[in-house]
A = this chain, B = another copy of it.
């Protein structure tokens, strides 16, 4: 960490800062510039937030040198390069496609979709049973019945199941049905949920918060990993900006930047990332070309009559066509599909 003193800060303030640094178990190294003094901290700064030093009198600003996460970092010895989900490896040579409806609505719907996406090439089945809805009057999912239907679809098709869990108290229930537990964008900062997921063995699909920085996203992964579960797959799903042409701004440079920061696999959700099914094919290809390890796509038998998110869902023929078009893109960047 680098502490920049205000211009003209008196010696006593500098000494107090140096003393607080020493009390924190770090070594202050002070440099006298022409206009102001700067204190460089030597030691492991990770357990301190910059504001631990920022409130000392005479301090102008504090800048971090090291990233605050360890287990999720590129230098980590425990972060996996690939994560196995019910036998399917995410992060290997193969681009993995997770597909299924936004929400499980009925047995017919999930069975039909599961069979179709499997036939088209999907390796994992997605579907919402517990749905976080902005509007309290909207349909909130079939809950445990939805989990049972997902399990039935897995039994028939063999596709492992990915589904969202919204609160710590539901982790055990959802984990008893699902092969991978998803943390939604609205829960990336739900730290008690992250800890609970860290204390159980099923792999976790960690969506990026809609206004979370890369550092915060990796700190959320660190929460899960530091609680004992290293099986984390990151998922970019679009961020909130001033743009109006879609529901979110899909930030693929965050995928490329994440790949430089962490060994953890990264997948992309172009359905939520754009909110418009006509943008999904182009952005799916772009995601693969940007280095993503997989895609999570909303697919349903009849988007026009879906209860939720029909606008961003692919129909089954659209998904089949996209899958065919994606394979050469994957191969062009040295991956299989």
Segment from A77-85, A120-128, A149-157, A162-170 that makes contact with B: A162-170
User: Are B303's CB and A252's CB within 8 A?
Assistant: no
A291 located at the interface, meaning its Cβ lies under 8 Å from any Cβ of chain B in the complex: yes
Q: How many copies does the complex hold?
A: 4
Please tell me if A293 contacts chain B, counting CB pairs below 8 Å.
Answer: no
The interface bits of chain A over 209-233 (1 if a CB of B lies within 8 angstroms of the residue's CB, else 0) are 0110111100100110011000000
Binary interface profile of A, 1-15, with partner B (CB < 8 Å = 1, else 0)?
A: 010100100000000
- For A219, give its contact among B136, B261, B310 (CB under 8 Å): B136
A156 to chain B, nearest CB (A): 27
Closest to A329 in B: B332
Q: Enumerate chain B residues within 8 angstroms of A332, measured Cβ to Cβ.
A: 285, 328-329, 331-332
- Count chain B CB atoms within 10 A of each CB in A38, A252, A273, A329 and give the residue with the most: A252
The smallest C-beta distance from A230 to any residue of chain B, in angstroms, reads 14
Q: Which one of A239, A277, A285, A308 has the highest number of Cβ atoms from chain B below 10 Å of its Cβ?
A: A285
Which B residues are CB-close (under 8 A) to A190? 166-167, 186-187, 190
Task: Specify the chain B residue showing the minimal Cβ separation from A4.
Answer: B65
Q: Which of A169, A239, A243, A329 has the most CB of B within 10 A?
A: A243
A169 to B170, CA, bound (A): 11
Contact of A253 among B54, B189, B274 (CB under 8 A): B274
Q: How far is the CB of A95 from chain B (nearest CB, A)?
A: 12
Please tell me if the beta carbons of B49 and A135 are within 8 angstroms of each other in the complex: yes
Q: Is A234 an interface residue (CB 8 A)?
A: no
* Among candidates B35, B211, B223, residue contacting A66 with C-beta atoms closer than 8 Å: B35
Contact yes or no, B243 A259, CB < 8 A: no
Within the complex, what minimum Cβ distance (angstroms) separates A21 from chain B?
13
| Stretch touching chain B among A40-48, A86-94, A108-116, A172-180 | A40-48
Question: CB of A256 within 8 A of chain B?
Answer: yes
How far, in whole Å, are A75 and B166 apart by their CA atoms in the complex?
Answer: 32
Q: Do the beta carbons of A135 and B311 come within 8 Å of each other?
A: no
Residues of B within 8 A of A259 (CB): 282
CB-defined A-B contacts under 8 Å, sample of 27: A16-B304, A32-B42, A33-B41, A36-B66, A46-B137, A49-B135, A51-B309, A55-B313, A134-B216, A136-B222, A169-B169, A190-B190, A210-B211, A213-B242, A213-B244, A239-B243, A246-B253, A249-B251, A249-B253, A250-B251, A256-B286, A257-B276, A282-B289, A285-B332, A289-B290, A328-B332, A328-B333
Hey, which bits of chain A sit against chain B, CB under 8 A? Answer: 2, 4, 7, 16, 20, 29, 31-36, 38, 40-44, 46-47, 49, 51-52, 54-57, 63, 65-66, 68, 75, 132-138, 140, 166-169, 186-187, 189-193, 210-211, 213-216, 219, 222-223, 226-227, 239-246, 249-257, 259-261, 273-274, 276-279, 282-283, 285-291, 303-313, 325, 328-329, 331-333
